[in-house]
Every structure is written in C-alpha cells, then in structure tokens.
Amino acid sequence: MATDMNDYFNKKKNEEKKSDGGFTPPKPPKIDFNMNPQKAGILWLVGGFIVLLFLAKPFIIINEGERGILSTNGKYSDNALMPGLHFLLPVIQNVYIVDTKVRIINYADKIDRASTAGDGILLKPAITVLDKRGLPVSIDMTVQYRLNAQLAAQTISNWGFSWEDKIIDPVARDVVRNVIGQYDAETLPIMRNAIAQKIEAGIRDNVNRQKNGPADLESIQLREIGLPQKVKDQIERVQVAKQEVEKAQQDVERAKQEAFKKETEAQGTANALTIEAKAQAQANHLVGQSLTPGLLKLEQIKVQGKFNDALKENKDAKIFLTPGGSTPNIWLDTKTADNQKISSTGK
C-alpha cells in the first residue's frame, strides 16, 4: 500500500514537471563540512583579510578644490595630497581633508542666517568699534579668501584646522578698529570710499605678513556703516540745512540773472535810442549842408508858382508873405468858412 502511494506521488510530480515545461528548480549547493583543515584555514584567512580591508579602508579619494593632510603616527606631512586616489597604511596613517575653494566671512547683524549660511560661508556679528570721539559704530563687511593650497599642510601644522578663526577674523577686526578710530562718526559716510580702501589695504598687509602665507585674499567689501541714532539725526539736520542754503543760493543766483537780463535789455534800449538820435542828427547835419542859397531860392520860386495857381482858382484867398524867406509863406482860403485850408511850405 505504501509503495502504491509513493508511485502515485511520483507520477503526480512528473505530470507537474511536464505541465511547467520541464523546468526543474536548481538544487542548493551542498556544503562539505568535512573539508581539509588547511584549506578551511586559507579560506578563513582570505575572508578575514577582505573584511579588514573593508573596515580599514586603506585608500582615500580627494576631490578638486580640496587637499589632503597626511598624518603618520600623529605627524603631519610637509606636502599636501593633491586631488585623486591615494593609498595609506591603515591605523598608522590618516588623511584630513581641507577646503581650498573660496570661503566667505559675512560680518552683519541683519543677514538671514537660514538663507545665507552654507558650505564655505561663515556668519559673524557686525564689527562694533568706537569712532574718534568714542561713539559706537557697527561695520558690515564681507571678506573672501582661500587657503593657500601649496602651503596647506604647513598652515594646518602651524595653526590647526581652525586657522581662519585665528588669522582672518582677528586681523579683520583689528584693522577695522584702527581705521574707524581715525574719524568722527559724522564724517564716516562722506569718507566711505577712502575708509574701504584703508580697511582692504590693512587686512591684506597683515595677512600677507603671516609666516608661510597661509591664506590668499580675494576681496574685502565694506557694505554698511551703522551710526548711532543721535548722529543720524544730526546728519539729517545738517543735510536739511544744507539743502535750504543751496535753495537760497539758487534763488539769489536766479535773481542776479534776472536783474542782469533787465539791465542788458535797458542798456540795449538806451543804446538803440542813442544810435537813432545820432543818426537823426547826422541826417539833419547832412540836410543842413545841402540847403544852399540857390536851392532855397529855387524852392521859393516853386512855392510862389503854387500860390499863383491857387489865386487863379480862388481870387478871395489871402496870402501873407514874409520877406527874406526866414519864415514860410502862408495863404488862407477865405472862400468858405467851413473849408479853410492852411498850407505851409519851407522857403
């Protein structure tokens, strides 16, 4: 009976294999636990070495914009590792990655830290210093710099990994303090460009004097000068007064120009009248010179002829003659009372 049951199940399995297309799942490999002890030791040694390599990681990859500081038993190497793949001895050697890209320190109190903080950007409070009279002044400034890649290992060896907090930050604050202390708060906005140049020159000079040139400065920008409120109010009052003075000066200048214009016009009119009078006098002089005795007698004869013609038409006319021709001859028409005619002619 048991044999029949086994035959039935074997037959059933064969039918299932045929229905699956003759596919037979692979059998798991058999592990021989009775292998040679020497062979097993070798396998364990190889496996342990692979695990050790994985955990110890005897290599490192350095990316562009970075340098590797190799430490052997706690002693830094004189030369930094360049970008690429580097192998090292586990446990004995270690590599520290330093950033050689441009880094930024923003000195400000009003910067949105959530939006501006990031890789290579440090946020620090505005630099508060005293002016020449002891009044507090705040300076917003940006310093861009980078680690000297060629001397990175020496810089880290001398200053440590917080080298920028020991070099850039204290130098910037000290230079700003010395420069701002030379001016009164009221003159700081006026001398802004000169102050910015002095601050940049001072920071560069101090950083470049450091041993082995640890950093390269890219730029220093003076963004804002924060003045005390009373100084701001005073500057505003001075500006308003200055604007009023300038307006008054403009009004005076405008009045001067208007007066000069009127004076010029009056002088031009007087000159025109003078010229006209001179011309008239010259004309009268020329006319007087042209009146010769013969010309006057001729004109008298012409007038006498006109009188004779008038007497022919109007016998009632009265004529007054002046001897010598010093005054004009006058004749009066008395024919009608309504139509009196008076005529005068130079003799």
**Vertex 332: Cα angle to 329 and 333 (nearest 5):** 140
Enter the tokens of residue 6.
């086994």
pLDDT for 321: 56
Quickly tell me which residue has 């109007």 as its tokens: 314
Find out whether 76 and 156 touch, Cβ atoms under 8 Å.
yes
Residue 129's CB is within 10 A of a number of other CB atoms, namely 18
Burial 28-62 (b: 16+ CB within 10 A, else e): eeeeeeeeeeeeeeeeeeeeeeeeeeeeeeeebeb
CA-wise closest residue to 225 among 180, 282, 269: 180
For the chain, residues with pLDDT lower than 50 are: 1-3, 5, 9, 18-20, 22-23, 29, 31, 33, 114-115, 326-327, 337-347
Please give the pLDDT value at position 86. Answer: 86
CA distance 83 to 257: 75
Q: How far is CA 43 from CA 32, 47, 49, in A?
A: 13, 6, 10
CA distances from 252 to 12, 240, 257 (A): 123, 19, 9
- Helical residues (DSSP H) of the chain, grouped into ranges: 2-19, 37-56, 113-116, 152-159, 163-166, 168-180, 192-208, 229-290, 293-313
Question: In the prediction, which pLDDT does 239 show?
Answer: 72
User: What b/e sequence results for 242-263 when a residue is b if at least 16 CB atoms lie within 10 Å of its CB, and e otherwise?
Assistant: eeeeeeeeeeeeeeeeeeeeee
The residue count for the chain: 347
Q: Which of 172, 156, 181 is nearest to 207 (CA)?
A: 172
Residue pair 151/212 in contact (Cβ under 8 Å)? The answer is yes
**Model pLDDT for residues 129-158, shown as the tens digit of each residue:** 999 989 999 999 999 999 998 888 888 888
- Rounded-to-integer distance, Cα 77 and Cα 33, Å: 50
For residues 176 and 171, give the distance between their C-alpha atoms in angstroms, rounded to a whole number.
Answer: 9
